[in-house]
Structure formats: C-alpha cells, structure tokens
Structure 1
Amino acid sequence: MIYVDEDDPIEDDDILIPYRDVKVKHNVDPKTDYDIIKDEELGRGSYGTVYLCREKSSGHEFAAKYVHVKNKEERRNMENEIDIMSCLHHPRIIQLYDAFDNGKTICVMLELISGGELFERVIDEDFVLTEKACVAFMRQICDGVGYIHSQSIIHLDLKPENILCLTKTGNRIKLIDFGMARRFDPAKKLKVLFGTPEFTAPEVVNFDEISFYTDMWSLGSICYLLLSGISPFYGDTDLESMTKVTVGKYDFDDEAFNNISQDAKDFIKSLLVMDGKKRLTAAQCLEHTWLKKSPKQTTALSTTKAKLKKFVIRKRWIKAVNTIIALQKMGAKIDFDLV
C-alpha cells in the first residue's frame, strides 16, 4: 500500500530548475540549444504537441511544447502566457525555462513534471487517500495560488487537470496551464467569459467583474471533489454545469462526507460563497483551522476514491474525444474501428 506523505513537503533543490526571466528568441531553432526527442511524445491536444527534450549545455530534461499559431488571437494568447509565466518563480508553480518563435510555431521549454495529474495518482489501487493527505495537498495549492495572486495575476482555470504531482513518489504538487491567466489592475474592471464550467465562479458565468476571489471559488470546488469524489456543480452539459454554478447550491449529504471533519466542511463553505468578496483569500485559507491543524484521524477515504475513479474515467473519455477532434482538424485520418 502507498501512503502519501502527509507532512509538508521538503524541497529538494537538486531537482529544481533554476529560476530565470525568459525572453522569447525569435527566428532561432530550438534544436540549436536542445535535443528534441520526437520519439518521446509527452502529450498532444488542440494546443499542439509536447516532446521530451534535453538541454545540450546542461543535460537537464524539459518538456518542449510546440504550439502552432494560426492567427493573431492565438499568437496574442501565447505571448500573454509566456509573459505571465516568465515572472512566476515559486516551488508550487511549473517553471518556464525558454521560449522560441519562428513566426508560425511557438516553442516553450517547461519544467518536466513526471508525477502525472494529482487525481490520477490518488485513485491508484495501492494509494491510500486520507483527509490528512488532502490537507497536505490543499495547503500546497493555496500556497501556490497565494503566490500567483501576490504577483497581481489571476489563474482563471484552476481545475484538477491543472494540478500535477512533481514526482511519482513524493507529495509535492505543481500548478500548471496559464493560458487563461490575466494580470489584475484594481483600477480597471476585468470581465472574462471563459473557463471550465463546473469549476468556474458565478461571476464569470454572469459576466460580472472578477478578481482574485474568482480563483478561490475554483479551489472550493476542487477541495469538495478531492474529499468526496463528487464534482459539486457537474452537469451533463456545459450549460447545465453553468446553471448549477449560478444557483450555487451544494450539500454534504452524500455518504462520502460521513468521515470528513466539520473543519473541512467549514473550509469549503468559506470558499463556495456567492459573494466573491466574502470568500477566504489564499492567505486566509492557510490560517484556517483545517489547514493549520491537520485532522488527527487518518481513516482511508475508500468511498471517496471509488467516486473519484468515476470522475477521472469520465474526464479521460472527454479528453480522448477532444484529442481525436483536434487531430482531425490537423488533417489526421482516424480509424474509429481502432479507437
């Protein structure tokens, strides 16, 4: 059986890449500085393709993300993501190491994270999930989000898929994917109409003004899911999910919450608040009793794991379908008899 380390993670500096301010290199071939290992494809989707790569000078391995920019909007989005990531230097945030632009394709070198998605890991048959382990994960997530906010940035797409484990054996997590992130200027009203429906905040769905508190609603939904295996605002369609978000109703009636502490439920209640200004900030979350004083009981959350597995399987199918659609748009012919 694999028990997650329920203590605060200890940073291992020898596996962390050095922080650096990244400037885009124009009309420079990434292969000048890196060996791109095309046989080691790490991921593929509508955004492009990710390969394993190795820096020639240091031997360090990275994830090379190639994105084809077909129009001005796609280019603007990638430039925004690079600009934001280049100033985020924190142990809980994936690190940007280099960036190249040849006019049609933008390639970014990212910190290599080998542990996979957090939720994929905790549903492993030999992995024992406890409430205390959930505290260890949520404390790190809040730490990372707090740092992002301290840099006047709102993530705007916090969801389970964007929380990765640094390694397959440790308990450290990393927040990824800043494609939707925005800089926040309190002197200007900021409104957006994008995000993942079941994890986005009511003010986004209603196209109202957003702020740092918008991310905090997403953390409430993630925490609810991590503890119970149930997505509080899941709907069969995006429209149904968004409708549930705007109503904001949820409860702790499911059997999965029978072994969950009152402190944990209070933590969730402090985040899933319709009035964004009344939600806990990331800093306040770290001072909440649940995160500050880890629960003493370490009962295995078996019911939660069973429900989480169903959630992850559903996400796998959605991801598979989206990948097929993306490949078809790129001109690939898919034999559905083999899918």
Structure 2
Amino acid sequence: MSKVLLSEIEKEYEVPFQKRNIVIKTNEKPTQTYDIMEEIGKGKFGTVYKCKEKKTNQWLACKQIDILSPQIRKETENEIDIMKSLQHRRLLQLYDAYDYGKTMVLILELITGGELFERVIDDEFDLTERSCVLFMRQICEGVEFMHSLNILHLDLKPENILCITQTGNQIKIIDFGLARRIEGSKDIKVMFGTPEFVAPEVINYDKIGKGTDLWSIGIITYVLLSGLSPFMGQNEAETLSNVTKLEWDFEDESFDEISENAKNFISKLLLKDQKKRMTASECLKHPWLTMTQAEKLLSKGNLKKFVVRRKWNKAKNAFLALKRMGAHIK
C-alpha cells in the first residue's frame, strides 16, 4: 500500500533545468531541435506530445496550440510571459517557445504522474487526512510563490494539480492560460473559471485578488477530504447561485472523522469577503498544515464518483465545443 512520507514531501525537488532566457522563436520550427513523439494529452485548442531535445536527450513535453483567433494568440502569449517568471519546484516549468503563424508551441517540463485526484482514488493508495495535508501544503507553497510575484492563477482545480511521477507524492500546479498579473492599484475583473471552484467575486464581476485563488484552495481541500463538491447544484446556474449565497456546510457524514483543524482551515477560506480569507502564507502556518498525525483511512467512495463525474463533464464539454466549431459528429 502506498504511504505518503513527510520526509519524501519535504525533500527538495529542484526545477529540472536552469532558468532560461526564453524568447519566442519565429524563424524555426521545434522539429529542428526536438524529436516529437507520441501524443500524451489533448485540450480544447491543442495537443500535448512527448518530445526529446536532440542535443541533450532531455525528455520534455511539447504543447501545440492551434491559433484559431486573435484572442487565443493573446492568451497564449500571456501564458508564455507568465511562465517565464514561475521558477519554482511546485509549478510547471517552461523550457522553450515557438510561433509560426497558425500554431504556437510551448516546450514544457515533462510530468508523468497524472492528476492528483486520479492518483489518490487508486485502490493501492492509502488516503488519510495526513496525506491530504501534505498535498495541500505543496499547493499552497506554489500559490504562495505566484502571489509573491503578484501573479494570480485563477483556474485552480483538481485537473490542474498533477503528480510529478506515478510513484512519488510530489505535485505540480499546471495550466497558466488564465493567469493574470496584478498591476498596482488597477482593478482586475474577469468572467471565467470553473463553476464548482470559482469565487463569488468572479461570478459577481467584482474586483479579484489573491484571495480569489485561496477560495479555490478551500474548495479543493473540501473535495479531497470528503469527495463532495460544496456548492454543486443540479446545473451550472444553480451551482453559481449556491456560491453567491455561500450555501455550504460540514453536515455530511463524510466529515464525521475529519479534524476540527481541517474544518477550520476550510472555513477560513470559504468566506465571501476575499480580504478576510487566509493568504497562502497564512495557510502554511495554519495548525492543520503542520499536523503530522491523522493516519486513519478516509473513505474514497465519494471522491471516485466526483472524479468520474468530472471526466464525463469534460468529455461532454469537449463534444459541445466541437459541435460549436462546426465539426460533423455522428
């Protein structure tokens, strides 16, 4: 059975390569420098392949993005600009970038462990409150670094938390396509995100801030411990309504064995006023993220159902996106 060891998590994980001065290449293609291998993932606007740098034999990931509109180009350029700053062991690293018209390519650190939630629902993994603590601590470390640079992630959700390897227990935060820089006193408002994880200020189109990411951390914690989504409604509109009404609780029996420290941690994040939410640095000092006990196994039945539902919704949304783009689907 898999055991999450504190010493393994705390062991320093160095970034896989030295900081690089990345300039988007426009006069060459990645195939001149990299051998592009098999497909390892597919998203809304592009595909990810495994690749190897010819000169060093280093294994990496090649993310090819189809530039279907000026907006997609702008978002991709923003993602590259943001990632240049994110040199931290808890954040996915950028290695190279290309732009040749209708396609932009990001060469990235290769992550092979799969999604965190997929990992913990495996029958061979012992999910305990302590293991949840160790995973959430790593997430907070990554967010703390981003926030120290005044960068917001704005799309923290289970799909964007990956395990570095299939056997280790260190994680990486990925997907900075929606990330934004906070520029001085300028108000930033956005209208995007995933309904189950989005903060009230996003729904209300109010000013966002670092607390917007901390709300999402609270949701991820709640789901990881219980397998339940605190604001999930019968449809997207009901979910968003539940978020704005702040209708959630710990009444389900899934929380009967969960510590008061864990509940307090969540309660200090799922606050309507983002200024009252804990910061990432305060999270790391919270008693729950310093606990070393709580080895009792947690039930994973709800969490397995949650993962299956998210997969189904992802497939459904991809299907609808293709339909909107005019694809002929039988």
Does residue 1:32 correspond to 2:32, yes or no?
yes
1:260 to 258, 261, 264: 258
- For 2:12, the equivalent position in structure 1 comes to 11
1:297, distance to aligned residue in structure 2 (A): 2.6
TM-score (norm 2): 0.96
TM-score normalised over the length of structure 1: 0.93
Q: Residue 13 of structure 2 contacts residue 89 of structure 2 at CA under 8 Å; is this kept in 1? A: no
Distance 1:44 1:27 in 2: 26
Whether the 8 Å CA contact 1:44–1:323 is kept in 2: the answer is no
Deviation of residue 258 (structure 1)? 1.1
Alignment of 1:303-318 (within 5 A): 305-318=300-313
**Does the CA contact (< 8 Å) of 2:90 and 2:138 recur in 1?**
yes
Q: CA deviation at 1:332?
A: 6.0
Give the CA deviation at 1:27. Answer: 3.0
In the alignment, the residues of structure 1 paired with residue 206 and residue 318 of structure 2 have an alpha-carbon distance, to the nearest angstrom, of: 32
> Structure 2 regions of 5+ residues with no counterpart?
none
Give the AA of the match of 2:2.
I
Find the aligned partners of 1:284 and 1:221 in 2 and give their Cα distance: 17
Cα distance in 2, alignment partners of residues 107 and 94 from structure 1: 15
Partner of 1:2: 2
Q: Deviations over 1:210-246 (max 9, x none)?
A: 1111111010011000111101111232211111110
Match of 2:280 in 1: 282
Residue 259 of structure 1 and its aligned partner are, at CA, apart by 1.1
CA contact (8 A) 2:130 2:291 kept: no
Q: What secondary structure, in the 3-state scheme, does the structure 2 residue paired with 1:128 have?
A: coil
- In structure 2, the partner of 1:322 is 317
Alpha-carbon spacing, 1:87–1:128, altered in 2? closer, same or farther (3 Å): same
Q: Secondary structure at the match of 2:209?
A: coil
1:258-307 CA deviation, whole Å, 9 max, x = no partner? 1110000000001001111000000000111111233x2310002xx110
CA distance in 1 between counterparts of 2:323 and 2:207 reads 37
| 1:333 Cα deviation from its structure 2 partner | 5.2
Deviation at 1:46, TM superposition (A): 1.3
The residue number in structure 1 matching 2:22 is 22
Residue 334 (structure 1) shift: 4.6
For 1:216, what is the secondary structure of its paired residue? helix
- 2:298 is equivalent to residue 301 of structure 1: yes
CA deviations 1:3-58 (Å, max 9, x no partner) are 22344331354x82333232110131110100011xx1111121211111110011
| Percent identical residues | 53
Distance 1:297 1:187, change over 3 A: closer
Matched ranges for 1:42-81 at <5 A: 42-81=40-79
Change (3 A) 1:12 1:215: closer
In structure 1, the residue corresponding to 2:56 is in which secondary structure? coil
What amino acid is the match of 2:295? T
Q: Identify the range of structure 1 (58-67 vs 316-325) with the bigger mean alpha-carbon deviation.
A: 316-325
Count of aligned positions = 329
